C-alpha cells in the first residue's frame, strides 16, 4: 500500500511516500525558517504563498524518486488542522485535486495525531497502550493512547505551549527565530542553576502545564540586566530557562505515568528535539521513552502519511467533501 503524505499546516512544506505501515520510500521537506526568521516569527500569508510555490514541485520530485505515477498511489493523507488557514488550504485543496484526477482516496489528518505517530515510524516495538507527550510550538499536551483512534486527553497547557515559550524567551534575549534550537545550543555552555527560575506547576497533582510565568520570570531577569546596562549572561539564562522548562515537562510525564499505570511514553513535536529533554527523559528508569529521530520531531509528512494510513485502515475512507481545512481542529 502506497501512501502520499502532505504536511502544510504551518511553515514547513512536507511530502513523503510511505510503503505499507512504516517503510519510508522518500521524504522531502522545504523549510521556510530562513524566510520567516527575518520577521521574528511566521507570517501566515507569506507561509501560504511559499507552500503554493513548493508543494507541487515536491510532489513531482517524490513521485519521480519513487518511480511511481500518481495513479499508482493507494491513499493521499493530508493535514487538515490545526494550523494556519491559508497554509492548510494549499495542502488540502492540492490533495483533493490530485485525488480527483488520479482517482485515489484522500484522508484528512489531525496534525496532532500526526505528531503522535512520529516516534512510531522507527519503532515497530511500540504499540498502544502508551502515553504520548506532544510538545510543539502550538501544543503541549499528554494523551493516553489506549489504542489507535482511542485517545484521552490527560492534560495540556493552561497558556503558552512549550515551543512558544522557547520562541518568546529567545525573542526577549534578542536571539533569532525559532528560539528553541538557539536556546538549546546556547544552554549547553551555560549554568542551569545560575538563575532560580520557577518550575511551573511542578508540585500539583494535575497533569497540566503553564509556561507564561516562566517566560515572565526570564523577562524580569533580563530587564534587571538591561536597567543596569550590564551585558546579558545569555548562556546562563538559556540553561536556567531550559532547566525549568524540561523539569516541568518531565515531572508531568512521570505524573501521567503514575496516574495511568503506563510505563511506555512516546514523545513528539518540535520541542522533542531538545537535547536536555531527550536526555532527562531517557535517564528516568520509571518509564520507557520513545523519541522520533531529530528530523521528524518538527513538522514532516512521514508522520502524516503514517497517521493517515493507520486511520484509513481502521475506519475506511471518507468522501472527498469531508476533507476540509480546520485551523482550530483540536480533539483527537
Ligand atoms: O512541531 P513543530 O515543528 O511545529 C508545531 O506544530 O508547532 O514545532 C516547532 C517548535 C518551535 O517553537 C521551536 O522553537 C521548537 O519547536 N523547537 C525546539 C527545538 N527545536 C525546535 N524547542 C526546544 N529545543 C529544540 N531543540
Ligand atoms: Zn507540528
332 occurs within a structural domain: no
pLDDT of residue 243: 97
| Residue 141 and residue 244 in one domain | yes
Q: Do 269 and 318 belong to one domain?
A: no
Measured from the CA of 179, which atom of ligand 1 is nearest? 14
Domain match, 285 and 140 both: yes
Answer yes or no: do 105 and 29 share one domain.
yes
Say if 228 falls within a structural domain.
yes
Q: Within a domain: residue 176? A: yes
Q: Does residue 305 share a domain with residue 284?
A: no
Contact 304, 79 (CB under 8 A): yes
Indicate whether 95 and 214 sit together in one domain: no
| CA 99 – CA 256 distance, rounded (Å) | 40
Look at residue 319 in the predicted model and tell me its pLDDT.
67
CB 246 within 8 A of CB 175: no
The total of structural domains in the chain comes to: 2
Neighbours of 295 (CB within 10 A): 12
Distance 221 CA to ligand 2 centre (A): 30
pLDDT value, residue 35: 80
The predicted model gives 308-325 an average pLDDT of: 85
Is 200 inside a domain boundary? Answer: yes
Q: Which three cell numbers stand for residue 209?
A: 502545564
- Residue 16 φ then ψ, to 5°: -150, 150
What pLDDT does residue 40 have? 78
Among protein residues, the one whose CA lies closest to atom 3 of ligand 1: 298
Residues 264, 240 within the same domain: yes
Residue 304 placed within a domain: yes
Per-residue pLDDT band at 332 (split at 50, 70, 90): confident
Question: Is residue 328 in a domain?
Answer: no
The pick from 36, 44, 79, 136 for probing ligand 1's pocket by mutation, whose C-beta has the most ligand atoms within 8 angstroms, reads: 136
pLDDT, one tens digit per residue, over 188-226 is: 999 999 999 999 898 899 999 999 999 999 999 999 999
The CATH number given to whatever domain includes residue 112 is 3.30.420.40
φ and ψ at residue 107, rounded to 5 degrees: -130, 140
Distance from the CA of 193 to the center of ligand 2, in angstroms? 30
The predicted structure's pLDDT at residue 331: 74
- pLDDT of 330: 79
pLDDT of residue 236: 98
**End-to-end CA gap in the chain:** 25
312 band by pLDDT with thresholds 50, 70 and 90? very high
Provide the domain limits for residue 203.
Answer: 127-291
The answer to whether 80 and 325 have CB atoms below 8 angstroms apart is: yes
Residue nearest to atom 21 of ligand 1 (CA): 270
One domain for residues 106 and 173: no
Nearest ligand to the CA of 164 is: 1
Query: Residues 25, 23, 282, CA angle at the centre, nearest 5°?
Result: 120
Tell me the pLDDT tens digit for each residue of 15-69.
999 999 999 999 999 987 778 777 877 888 989 999 999 999 999 999 999 999 9
Q: Give residue ranges with CB within 6 A of ligand 1.
A: 10, 136-138, 163-164, 166-167, 178-181, 184, 269-271, 273-274, 298-299
Would 327 be classed as within a structural domain? Answer: no
* pLDDT at residue 38 in the model: 78
Give the Å distances, CA to CA, from 235 to 57, 155, 219.
41, 31, 15
CA of 227 to the centre of ligand 1 (A): 31
Tens-digit pLDDT profile for residues 96-143: 999 999 999 999 999 999 999 999 999 999 999 999 999 999 999 999
Residues 282 and 302 placed together within one structural domain of the fold: no
| Ligand 1 atom 13: residue of nearest CA | 180
Same domain assignment for residues 27 and 172: no
**Predicted local confidence at residue 39, as pLDDT:** 80
The number of the ligand nearest the C-alpha atom of 12 reads 1
Q: What is the pLDDT of residue 318?
A: 67
Residue 331 lies in a domain: no
Residues 286, 189 share a domain: yes
- Give me the pLDDT at residue 60, please: 97
Are 107 and 165 in a shared domain? no
Amino acid at each position: 500500500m502506497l501512501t502520499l503524505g502532505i504536511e502544510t499546516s504551518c511553515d514547513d512544506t512536507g511530502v513523503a511516500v510511505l510503503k505499507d505501515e512504516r517503510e519510508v520510500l522518500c521524504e522531502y521537506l522545504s523549510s521556510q525558517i530562513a524566510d520567516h526568521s527575518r520577521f521574528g516569527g511566521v507570517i501566515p500569508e507569506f507561509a501560504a504563498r511559499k507552500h503554493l510555490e513548493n508543494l507541487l514541485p515536491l510532489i513531482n520530485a517524490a513521485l519521480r524518486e519513487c518511480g511511481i505515477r500518481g495513479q499508482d498511489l493507494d491513499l493521499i493523507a493530508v493535514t487538515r488542522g490545526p494550523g494556519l488557514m491559508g497554509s492548510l488550504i494549499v495542502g488540502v485543496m492540492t490533495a483533493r485535486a490530485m485525488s480527483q484526477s488520479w482517482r485515489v482516496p484522500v484522508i484528512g489528518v489531525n496534525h496532532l495525531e500526526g505528531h503522535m505517530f512520529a516516534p512510531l515510524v522507527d519503532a515497530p516495538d511500540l504499540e498502544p497502550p502508551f502515553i504520548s507527550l506532544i510538545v510543539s510550538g502550538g501544543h503541549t499536551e499528554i494523551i493516553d493512547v489506549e489504542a489507535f483512534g482511542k485517545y484521552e486527553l490527560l492534560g495540556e497547557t493552561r497558556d503558552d505551549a512549550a515551543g512558544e515559550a522557547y520562541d518568546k524567551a529567545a525573542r526577549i534575549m534578542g536571539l533569532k527565530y525559532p528560539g528553541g534550537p538557539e536556546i538549546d545550543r546556547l544552554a549547553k555552555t551555560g549554568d542551569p542553576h545560575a538563575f532560580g527560575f520557577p518550575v511551573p506547576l511542578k508540585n500539583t497533582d494535575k497533569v497540566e502545564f503553564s509556561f507564561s510565568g516562566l517566560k515572565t520570570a526570564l523577562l524580569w531577569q533580563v530587564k534587571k540586566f538591561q536597567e543596569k546596562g550590564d551585558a546579558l549572561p545569555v548562556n546562563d539564562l538559556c540553561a536556567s530557562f531550559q532547566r525549568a522548562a524540561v523539569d516541568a515537562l518531565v515531572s508531568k510525564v512521570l505524573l501521567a505515568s503514575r496516574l495511568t499505570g503506563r510505563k511506555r511514553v512516546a514523545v513528539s513535536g518540535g520541542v522533542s528535539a531538545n537535547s536536555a529533554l531527550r536526555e532527562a527523559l531517557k535517564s528516568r528508569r520509571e518509564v520507557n521513552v520513545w523519541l522520533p529521530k531529530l528530523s521528524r520531531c518538527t513538522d514532516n509528512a512521514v508522520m502524516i502519511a503514517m497517521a493517515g494510513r493507520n486511520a484509513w485502515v481502521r475506519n475506511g475512507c471518507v468522501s472527498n467533501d469531508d476533507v476540509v481545512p480546520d485551523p482550530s481542529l483540536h480533539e483527537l
